[in-house]
Amino acid sequence: MMKKQLLLLIVLACAFVTSVKAEFQLERPKLVVGIVVDQMRWDYLYRYYNQFGEGGLKRLINDGYNFENMHYNYVPTVTAAGHASVFSGTTPAFHGIAGNNYYLNGKKVYCCGDTTVQTVGSKSKAGQMSPRNMMVTNMCDQLRLATDFRSRVIGVSIKDRAAILPAGHSANGAFWFDKSAGCFITSTYYMQDLPQWLKDFNKKNKKDLNQDIAPLPIGVTLTTRIAIAALDGEQLGKNPTGDTDMLTVSYSSTDYVGHSFGTRGEKTDEIYLTLDRELKVLFDALDQRVGRGNYLLFLTADHAGCHNAKFMNDHKMPGGVWKQSAKKKELNALYAQKYGITNIISDFFQNQVHLNRAAIEAKNLDFCAVRREIAAKLAEDSLLMYAVPFEEVGSSSLPPAIRDRVIMGYCPGRSGDIQVITRSGYMDYSYEQGTTHVAWNPYDTHVPFIIMGWHVNHGFTNRPVAINDIAPTVCAMLKIQMPTGCTGNAIYGD
């Protein structure tokens, strides 16, 4: 009997020890780094792979977990919408950043424009910017909330929108380049004076900053420099409370080069090989200052880009130019004769038609009927696949792959009245050189997404994932609530 009791006690003791060992322990990295490369196509990872060095993009591919089939799941695929979507875990339908520009209360606005704030760091109006037009929180906001705002969040980029939207509403700071002043600035939304580290940075790099850095390799280099300066100046990853900090970095020069020179050629090669070298510099700095394994890092893009039409035609593949301005002029002339309205189409951009609602109603015309008529007229164009009034997209004959992207990109009151879908490879850009992005096609939607570092095992998957899955994935890894408008799902560790 005594032996049985002793055996039972031993079993219970072992069970207790096992349960103690299995007890959950909350762990978080010291730092999260979110990198966005503007206009980076997914296939650039492999087009340049053999030319990459060992510590930059190759390190990401060989050490990180690679989601090879990451796509944007909405249109229009443009910079502001992309940055907002990556960090908010949702799409323009919910976060409200319907494009780089869009209409708000009948007035065309810039996505981050805010006249209630002033520039800090220069005398220009380039700092009249804030994230107020974004209607939801993002992962940075959620991190701040989870730590009672002890976590520090900083965003940097050449482009204002690429610094502001990733850093979120409650960021400690967002900094971008003021071309007119030749320095990095911010706005009174964040602070009343530049931090000393940024003043020192502007002074130290004055010679390089005194030019249009955006389309040059030096733009990539300076983005890395300011990221490291912020890392040091804000002591990111060394939070005295032990809480996780976050740094968002967006490389914009790649987009300027793509627009000017396209997806092929020496300039494009140069900018991506420069990016690779600069990422090594950034990764090495993170290793030294925060420590390998102590930071979680991800890299993605805000959209991709179409091959230039001439390049495609030269190789016997479809593509061409379809000018929205020309179609606007043609239809305005037609309906000026029919209805006596000078500009029935008030604007046409991002493949969206904005109708002159006030003028249509002033003529006592049925707005919905006129909209349907104009959409039908647009659909007669042989270079268009579809033209559909937004409010009729759900019941239209659009294929699901396109229909769902239009719905997820449509924000009432901010998007246009009619969505047009061009034939594959047709874009509103120069035929001879350069490229753009806005479409639903894989050339604009397929982007890299690789995570590396803290608690990440090397691997890859080809299963389909969407851009709004990034934020909930990071939030799940950090054990924090997903953003308020999140429509994606965690995709790592499931």
Cβ-contact 99, 83 below 8 angstroms: no
Spatial CA neighbour of 436 closest among 271, 303, 317: 303
Q: Which amino acid is it at 274?
A: T
In terms of residues, how long is the chain?
Answer: 494
Name residue 389's beta-bridge partners: 418
**Distance between CA atoms of 494 and 489, rounded to whole angstroms?**
10
346 token code pair? 């008030």
Using left for φ > 0, alpha for ψ between -120 and 50, and beta otherwise, residue 242 falls in left
Buried b (16+ CB within 10 A) or exposed e, 189-211: bbeeebbebbeebbeebeeebee
**Distance between CA atoms of 344 and 328, rounded to whole angstroms?**
9
Q: Give the distance between the most distant pair of CA atoms in the chain.
A: 106
Cβ-contact 122, 150 below 8 angstroms: no
- 170: three-class secondary structure by DSSP: coil
User: Which residues does 259 contact at the CB level (< 8 Å), separation at least 6?
Assistant: 39, 434, 435, 436
**Distance between CA atoms of 209 and 131, rounded to whole angstroms?**
25
Catalytic residues: 79
Question: 483 — phi, psi (to 5°)?
Answer: -60, 160
